Amino acid sequence: MICHFSYLNSPLREPLLHHQRPLEPPHLVPSSPDSLKTKGRRPRISAPETEAAEFQLQSMSPLAFTLLLILISIGALGPTEAARAFFVFGDSLVDNGNNNYLLTTARADSPPYGIDYPTHRPTGRFSNGLNIPDLISERIGSEPTLPYLSPELTGERLLVGANFASAGVGILNDTGFQFVNIIRIGKQLEYFQQYQQRVSALIGEEQAERLVNQALVLITLGGNDFVNNYYLVPFSARSRQFALPDYVVYLISEYRKILARLYELGARRVLVTGTGPLGCVPAELAQRGINGQCSVELQRAAALFNPQLVDMINGLNGEIGSDVFVAANAMQMNLDFVNNPQAYGFVTSKVACCGQGPYNGIGLCTVLSNLCPNRDVYAFWDPFHPSERANRIIVQQIVSGDSKYMHPMNLSTIMELDFMT
């Protein structure tokens, strides 16, 4: 069951478990705006709440207290922050439908997109069903985030968070120009500011700031800066301006500004995904691959980009004095099933479920495309995007993966730490 709670006309409250007594809202000690390191810390619980908690424990009968310890020990009442707000920024891998409201060619609003979504209708997600933000929402006990441009995102729905992502965007403003009208990352951040103003009007500035500080943020950028910019056409403007290693350095420097701005806007828990194996998606196998092998040049680009992204994140966290930014190794998460699809229950990681041409990797997924009967046995849904089942594998590693996949910690650890602080 998905928990939901209201901030309207009341203090911020945790969602209630069955038969759980409501607790008084915590008293927060505000952080100092004068220190970058202090700003990086999450709000601290002050003495009144600690004393109240101790009083409640002391008031419990021995039998009830023993039962509580047993439930915790078996994980029935493990650390949870159900219904914390969730914000999403980035490209088509995480877009929940913003582009439906734009005059753009980067759309997923017609069948067979959404064929396995609960409504069995296209939603604007570039998936046969659920995408990565949907599955993360499931894991943190939240409702799925609505696209920020959705007219349904009003009132209490705002308190769940929002999805600002837009298919086709990249780190750079000139990425995805061929899609005409998309929400570039700078505009996504402007919308995030606008969102905070709307929530402040709803629940007050202090509570709105707290909601944002305690939220989980996901940002996915970078792939389009290669596929739909540097390598879009031979002798592209960026490829004439930069050698590939220099282009990657430039991308990382621009990405750093984006992440720093997110921090300025109040984000304190940010999952940053690297690029996947760009040269191994069906579209690139069809256009650039040789004999079914991944495109060497695009794989080289990803191999240059991802380690530098982690280094940049480490540097930012060091300056802040807190692990605000967490790197998700999307390359390895994808390569696991790309290199050994049968081990994960897929019949292929080369051929897309929906498409046409070699590897079903040419053009768009439409009602006229080839369509596989069982999406669960295909790693890729369309020429560029994983199937829902592949997304579930990726999210499982985000939640519980070791240091091979998540640095410096996975989402489960984040939730546990945030529960205790």
Per residue in 77-86, pLDDT tens? 333 444 799 9
For the segment 332-356, the average pLDDT, to the nearest whole number, is 98
φ, ψ at 394 (rounded to 5°): -60, -45
Least confident of 3-17, 89-103, 384-398: 3-17
Nearest to 81 by CA among 141, 138, 24, 27: 141
Q: Identify which of 378, 356, 357, 375 has the alpha carbon closest to the alpha carbon of residue 365.
A: 356
191-204 per-position pLDDT tens digit: 999 999 999 999 99
Which band of pLDDT confidence, cut at 50, 70 and 90, is reported for residue 212? very high
Averaged over 346-365, what is the pLDDT?
97
The residue type at 146: L
Residue 51 is predicted with a pLDDT of 39
pLDDT for position 188: 99
Residue of 184, 191, 352 lying closest to 284 (CA atoms): 352
Q: What is the mean pLDDT of residues 4-21?
A: 31
Query: What are the tokens at 240?
Result: 């004439």
83, with CB counted inside 10 A (0-12, 13-18, 19+), is: buried
In this prediction, residue 62 carries a pLDDT of 53
- Gap between the Cα atoms of 331 and 334, Å rounded: 5
Q: How confident is the model at residue 419 (pLDDT cuts 50, 70, 90)?
A: confident
pLDDT at 66: 46
Q: Which of 14-18, 195-199, 387-391 has the lowest mean pLDDT?
A: 14-18
Mean pLDDT throughout 34-45? Answer: 37
Among the listed residues 349, 385, 387, 407, the single catalytic one is 385
Give the pLDDT band (50/70/90) at residue 59.
very low
Query: Does residue 368 have a pLDDT over 50?
Result: yes
Token pair, residue 224, equals 């389009």
Q: Note the pLDDT of residue 22.
A: 32
Higher-pLDDT residue of 357, 49: 357
For the chain, helix (H) and strand (E) counts, in that order, are 14, 10
Task: Find where tokens 């690029």 sit.
Answer: 275
With bands split at pLDDT 50, 70 and 90, how would you rate the model's confidence at 94?
Answer: very high
Lowest-confidence segment of 363-367, 377-381, 417-421 by average pLDDT: 417-421
pLDDT at 61: 53
Binned at pLDDT 50, 70 and 90, residue 279 comes out as: very high
Element containing residue 161 per DSSP (H, E): strand 161-163
Give the model's confidence band at 393: pLDDT under 50 very low, under 70 low, under 90 confident, else very high: very high
Q: What is the pLDDT of residues 232-241, one digit of tens each?
A: 999 999 999 9
Q: Is 33's pLDDT higher than 50?
A: no
Give catalytic status of residue 35 as yes or no. Answer: no
| Residue 407 designated active-site | no
Encode pLDDT of 126-155 as tens digits. 999 999 999 999 999 999 999 999 999 999
Task: Tell me what pLDDT residue 70 has.
Answer: 40
DSSP per-residue codes, 6-58 = --TTS---PPPPTTPPPPPPPPEEPPPTT-HHHHHSPPEE-HHHHHHHHHHHH
Domains of the chain: 44-78 (no CATH), 86-420 (3.40.50.1110)
- Amino acid identity of residue 235, one-letter, is F
Annotated catalytic residue, options 92, 127, 322, 387: 92
Q: By CB neighbour count within 10 A (0-12 exposed, 13-18 middle, 19+ buried), where does 47 fall?
A: exposed
Q: What is the pLDDT of residue 54?
A: 41
Q: Give catalytic status of residue 385 as yes or no.
A: yes
Average pLDDT of the residues in 160-175: 98
pLDDT above 70: residue 396: yes
- Say what the pLDDT of residue 283 is: 98
Helix (H) or strand (E) holding 391: helix 388-400
pLDDT at position 420, please?
Answer: 82
Report the alpha-carbon distance of residue 209 to residue 410 in Å, rounded: 25
pLDDT at 312: 99
137 contacts: CB under 8 Å, gap ≥ 6: 86, 143, 144, 145
Which is the catalytic residue, given 137, 349, 382, 387? 382
